[in-house]
Amino acid sequence: MGAHREVPSEARTEAATDPELDEAHQALVRDVVAQGGLTDPAWRAAFEEVERHLFVPYYYVHGSRGYERLWGEDPDPVRRRRWVRGVYGDEALATRMRDGELISSSSQPSLMALMLEALDVRGGHTVLEIGTGPGYNAALLSHRLGDAAVTSVDLDPEITDAARGHLAAAGYRPTVITGDGARGCPQRAPYDRIIATCTLPSVPSAWPEQCSPGARILAPVATGLVSLEVRATAHGPRAEGHFLHTPAYFVPLRGASPLSEPVSRPGGVPRRAIGDELFRFLLTLTVGSLDPRDALSLWEREERPQRERYGVTVAEGRQWAWLDDPEGPYTWSLGV
């Protein structure tokens, strides 16, 4: 069941005296389970015992007059009830804004559960998390593996400072580093697992180099989630694997090259294709490498390929995406 330990009683006082929060928390867990998530009892225990509201004391919602801040200490009971419903809703929450731009969020819990289960951690594994956010995901990992096994990196000192406070309030103390996530965290390498909670244009080459042989990297690339296995070769580490079935939208990794977005309707591409989520995924994955009409031809010829048929390879200083076979006819450079 992992490295669970009792959370200090002072960190649980609010939940113990607030039935509304407790019921909303347990309702969220039931909702994720009803969607088919948390099949691993250890992850279900983590979601049942790590309280999301400790990591999201406030968040922002978009309304007709711009962004509105909801917070747990609001004296207005109606507004506080809205905060409770949101913090334990199965949705991503905007947790930090700067000059009108979203720079940090708390991910959708059902997507977090899917990613953590896909990470396939075992007792004794060490994990590097890229994108600390409010610290909720790091707490779930710490519940499962223990504080010493978890390292989390974020570029913004305000984000990491706040996350340390949230984690301590919940009774967890993983290593939280302020730094460029694209560079990983070499001083605490090697890692058995790397998980990113921010969108990437490509997989940073530093990550496979900081992995143990047989490690796994799970990262949002384009609008999907790619799971890479890392193995040692005579020419250095090779990371390779397929995308998962689910779409995924995250805040971009700060410090990395921006992710180019395809135009809303490239010339020669019919509206029916642009309206198809799988084609938009292919467009984003091939932007800068394939002409949109060539992407359309591939998509039609292969009869609307599902996400799981696509993959990524990082090896020998190169990186490419592919359909079906990394050495097959459909390959293109990634992150150009």
Nearest 5°: the CA angle 62, 254, 170 is 70
Strand 224-233 and strand 66-71: the pairing is unpaired
pLDDT at position 264: 53
Q: Which of the pair, 286 or 10, is modelled with greater confidence? A: 286
pLDDT of residue 47: 98
Has residue 10 got a pLDDT over 80? Answer: no
Instruction: In whole angstroms, give the CA distance from residue 167 to residue 163.
Output: 6
**Residue 258 confidence (pLDDT) above 60:** no
Confidence of residue 253 (pLDDT cuts 50, 70, 90): confident
pLDDT average, residue stretch 300-315:
97
C-alpha distances out from residue 136 to 40, 182, 329, Å = 19, 21, 42
Q: In what order do the strands lie in the sheet with 66-71?
A: 66-71, 58-63, 93-98, 101-106
Does the pLDDT of residue 156 top 90, yes or no?
A: yes
Q: Is the pLDDT of residue 302 over 80?
A: yes
Q: Which residues 6+ apart lie within 8 Å of 170 measured at CB?
A: 7, 11, 50, 51, 54, 55, 135, 139
Beta-carbon contacts of residue 9 (< 8 Å; ≥ 6 apart): none
Structural domain boundaries in the chain: 9-179, 254-333
pLDDT of residue 121: 97
Q: Which pLDDT belongs to residue 265?
A: 56
First to last CA, the chain: 42
CB 131 within 8 A of CB 198: yes
Mean pLDDT of 126-144: 97
Q: Which phi and psi (to 5°) does residue 259 adopt?
A: -80, 115
For 33-63, what is each residue's pLDDT tens digit?
Answer: 999 999 999 999 999 999 999 999 999 998 7
**Bridge partner residues of 240 (DSSP):** 229, 313
Of 88-102, 178-192, 250-264, 286-300, give the range with the top mean pLDDT.
178-192
Scanning the structure block, which residue is given the tokens 């390779």?
240
pLDDT at 225 over 50: yes
Question: Predicted confidence band at 251 (pLDDT cuts at 50, 70, 90)?
Answer: confident
What type of residue is 85? R
261 or 235: which leads in pLDDT: 235
The encoded tokens of residue 143 equal: 């519940």
Percent pLDDT > 70 in the chain is: 90
The values of phi and psi at residue 307, to 5°, are -60, -35
Question: What is the torsion angle, in degrees rounded to the nearest 10, for the CA atoms of residue 218, residue 221, residue 226 and residue 231?
Answer: -70
Segment (H or E) for 47: helix 41-49
Q: At what angle do helices 109-119 and 41-49 cross, to 10 degrees?
A: 140
Q: What is the mean pLDDT of residues 114-141?
A: 97
CA distance 169 to 244: 34
Q: How far is CA 274 from CA 165, 262, 266, 283, 290, in A?
A: 44, 10, 9, 9, 16
> Which pLDDT score, from 0 to 100, does residue 17 have?
62
pLDDT at 260: 43
- Position 205 pLDDT exceeds 70: yes
What's the pLDDT band for 210 if we cut at 50, 70, 90?
very high
Q: Rounded distance, CA 322 to CA 35, Å?
A: 30
In this prediction, residue 249 has a pLDDT band, given cuts at 50, 70 and 90, of confident
In the three-class reduction of DSSP (H, G, I as helix; E, B as strand; rest coil), residue 252 is classed as strand
For residue 142, count other CB atoms closer than 10 A to its CB: 29
Report the C-alpha gap between 108 and 258 in whole angstroms. Answer: 23
Residues 99-104, mean pLDDT to the nearest whole number: 87
Active site residues: 104
Provide the angle, in degrees to the nearest 10, between the axes of the packed helices 136-145 and 109-119: 40
Decide if pLDDT at 135 tops 60: yes
pLDDT at 3: 54
pLDDT-based confidence at residue 157 (cuts at 50, 70, 90): very high
What value does the mean pLDDT of the chain take? Answer: 91
CA distance 132 to 174: 11
Where is average pLDDT lowest: 19-23, 234-238, 270-274?
A: 270-274
Is pLDDT at 79 greater than 70 in this prediction?
A: yes
- The one-letter code for the residue type at 143 is H
Per-residue pLDDT at 16 = 45
* pLDDT of 191 higher than 90: yes
Question: What is the fold, at CATH topology level, of the domain defined by 9-179?
Answer: Rossmann fold (3.40.50)
